[in-house]
Amino acid sequence: IFTFVLHGEQFHAALADRLVGQWILKNEGLTEHFRSSLEGISQFGFRIMVRKDWEEFAEAFNQELAAIR
């Protein structure tokens, strides 16, 4: 997504988890082209959405998530 923002004409910003975004930018050599906000934009937790045909994966993921809580 950062490449689309940097080189494309349709996107002017990207939204990502701060740590994940910084990791991607570092690994892609794009850190000098972007900056991140210091403040969060929301107090809500993240949600993972999958297609209906991924039901088996979602159930296994939820079980693993419950185990690490």
Q: Which residues contact 15 (CB under 8 A, 6 or more apart)?
A: 41
Counting residues of the chain whose pLDDT is more than 90, the rounded percentage is 16
Q: Is 0.85 topped by the overall pTM?
A: no
Domain range annotation of the chain? 2-68
| Residue 4 confidence class, pLDDT cut points 50, 70, 90 | confident
Residue 24 near residue 2, CB atoms below 8 Å: yes
